[in-house]
A and B are shown apart, each in its own frame.
Chain A
């Protein structure tokens, strides 16, 4: 538990809280106010991006539990998102399950499938595990593309709009649905890593032999990490099914797995807050680049022609720059800034 230096606690209970200083509470209050004001300050387009970010945050947190906290690399993110999306969509459109129930079942199913595809991790590490998870990605993609039963032969699933969502206030209503769900999901992930379960994941990551020697059942820890991680990813996939109102395999390809890996690397491996920052960064950057590109394109037509290529190049350069400047990600940059302010004007 990273407690701010120079803070002394009178009870263990106080020490275990997530926030200790007035500054930390103040920042939380500021974020909450911001989150409450955002939907009224943004237009529909940007609110739509905010909603995509909220969904991506849940998926990034899930992936970070596995990759950043447990040290098990995964290229199967896209596949697990697909499992969540297809399961919830099929259950609510064809089995007639109420949406919340369909989402919960989708979480459990994805967790189960995740645990299953996590079994190779009991034997494989590093690059070999990456290849094994790549295989699980491709197997899931193969199934959702070729198994006609899933889409009743149409190739995609149309998900009816939630009954209480109006066309004019679509994005706003979704914002108020997604915000609390994402908030609770992030908080729960944070909780895991102040308990013995989360610590056992990090022990496996840091030193698996010592973890075994102090009594961590590595098999159990790894399978649980895959299941827990996939549960979050399944939730993210299920939410995207109802939000986008269609489920097609194109949205769950290997690119998506790589994009999510980039999110948690840029944000900070092994950091819940980092997953959030990374998701925001990776979802916001393309939108901002488009915006800037269009403005510039008005005066220089060349930019409009080449916009997609330029966008990709800048996107790539931005990520590399980040990694070179601070390999531990945005979360690390942020905590250095906080320390700087807290100790100002004294530098240690």
Chain B
């Protein structure tokens, strides 16, 4: 799979490898009385697979939603670096579609695809930020609208190939198996040519074979394009295996942040999470 020559880069970030690409600081998020996130802050480094782990309800999805602009934290910020790393954008002040335009692409914990549309249409929608949407040109079709459809098919077909989605191209996604839908959602994020890829439990609810496939795809994408990934995942084996760095949340607080080995040795983590699993 990796041997094939792909023309389009799936990574649009030009921040030097090793420099910070996302700085999360002091985020506090409340829903009424529930404190979902409490003073959470860490830095994501360009080129890393950065895992966020923690028990159910720890605030992992909420954190991702703050980064992609769906939730608005009461305090703190998430700052994205673009260009050579010197240009910064305060994501917590932008609406979601502007954040997507900066190249922040994501998948959701509970699949959020456009279920009546085909796989191809879902992936073409992933190109939305790169396309024009003039009313007149759309009504006329011949000319710019059609040329645009054709020119964006190139990268979409590459992602279809990368994720082995060929057989499902014209199928409505609502009719596909769960595992395939998860893959389509990854594909929809990839065709955006992300600068930062946020994956919320991409392997949840899969059997071990599907999990392995999905882990392989994520690794492929990472190796192929060097795209920075924030990965929320429950399966510790997978996390420790593929991530460069791990942040651990527990009851909305960051209790550890380091390399997989450091985190594994951290007593707070063992108590809150790893240990709890063994009992």
Contacts and interface: CB of A to CB of B under 8 A. Distances in A.
7 contacts: A192-B139, A195-B149, A200-B128, A206-B116, A214-B125, A214-B129, A215-B128
- Ranked nearest first, the 6 interchain pairs of A and B with the lowest CB-CB distance are A215-B100, A215-B129, A191-B141, A210-B112, A206-B114, A212-B96
Given A12-B150, A195-B138, A196-B132, A215 B101 contact: yes
A202 B106 contact: no
A339 to B, nearest CB: 14
Contacts of B117: 199, 202-203, 206
Given A191-B145, A210-B112, A212-B95, A228 B135 contact: yes
B68 A196 contact: no
A2 B96 CA distance: 30
B137 to A, nearest CB: 8
A217 interface: yes
Contacts of B148: 195-196
Contact of B170 (A1, A199, A200): A1
- Of the listed residues B113, B129, B134, B135, the one surrounded by the most CB atoms of chain A closer than 10 A to its CB is B135
A210 B113 contact: yes
A16 B106 CA distance: 28
- How large, as a class, is the contact surface on chain B? 35 or more
Contacts of B124: 196, 199
Contact of B135 (A203, A212, A224, A270): A224
Contact of B97 (A191, A216, A224, A270): A216
Contacts of A192: 138-139
Interface in B135-189: 135, 137-141, 145-146, 148-150, 153, 157, 170, 188-189
Given A3-B170, A214-B129, A207 B115 contact: yes
A197 B135 contact: yes
Interface in A1-32: 1-3, 5, 12-13, 16
A192 B145 CA distance: 9
Contacts of A206: 113-117
Contacts of B121: 1, 199, 202
Contacts of B97: 212, 215-218
Contacts of A212: 69-70, 95-97, 100
B42 interface: no
Interface of B: 68-70, 95-97, 100-101, 105-106, 108, 112-118, 120-121, 124-129, 131-135, 137-141, 145-146, 148-150, 153, 157, 170, 188-189, 192
A12 B153 contact: yes
Interface string A250-269: 00000000000000000000
B100 A214 contact: yes
A41 interface: no
A20 to B, nearest CB: 11
Contacts of A2: 118, 170
A16 B150 CA distance: 8
Nearest to B96: A212
Contacts of B114: 202-203, 206-207, 210-211
A212 B95 CA distance: 8
- Of the listed residues A192, A202, A206, the one surrounded by the most CB atoms of chain B closer than 10 A to its CB is A206
- How large, as a class, is the contact surface on chain A? 35 or more
A198 B150 contact: no
A194 B96 CA distance: 25
A324 interface: no
B185 to A, nearest CB: 9
Nearest to B121: A199
Nearest to A212: B96
B139 A188 contact: yes
Contacts of B133: 195-197, 200, 224
Nearest to B100: A215
B116 A202 contact: yes
- Of the listed residues A188, A191, A199, A214, the one surrounded by the most CB atoms of chain B closer than 10 A to its CB is A214
Nearest to B171: A5
B146 to A, nearest CB: 7
B226 to A, nearest CB: 22
Interface in A170-201: 188, 191-192, 194-200
Contact of B188 (A5, A195, A214): A214
B183 to A, nearest CB: 16
A320 interface: no
A235 B105 CA distance: 40
Nearest to A191: B141
B156 to A, nearest CB: 9
Nearest to B185: A210
B131 A196 contact: yes
B106 A213 contact: yes
Interface string A210-238: 11111111100000100110000000000
A16 B146 contact: yes
Contacts of A207: 112-115
A209 B114 CA distance: 10
B178 to A, nearest CB: 16
Given A210-B112, A215-B97, A216-B128, 18 more contacts: A2-B118, A12-B149, A12-B150, A12-B153, A191-B145, A195-B145, A196-B124, A196-B131, A199-B125, A203-B117, A207-B114, A207-B115, A212-B70, A213-B96, A213-B100, A215-B129, A224-B133, A228-B135
Contacts of B101: 215
Contacts of B157: 12
Contacts of A16: 146, 149-150
A216 B131 CA distance: 11
Contacts of A202: 114, 116-117, 121
Contacts of A216: 97, 125, 128
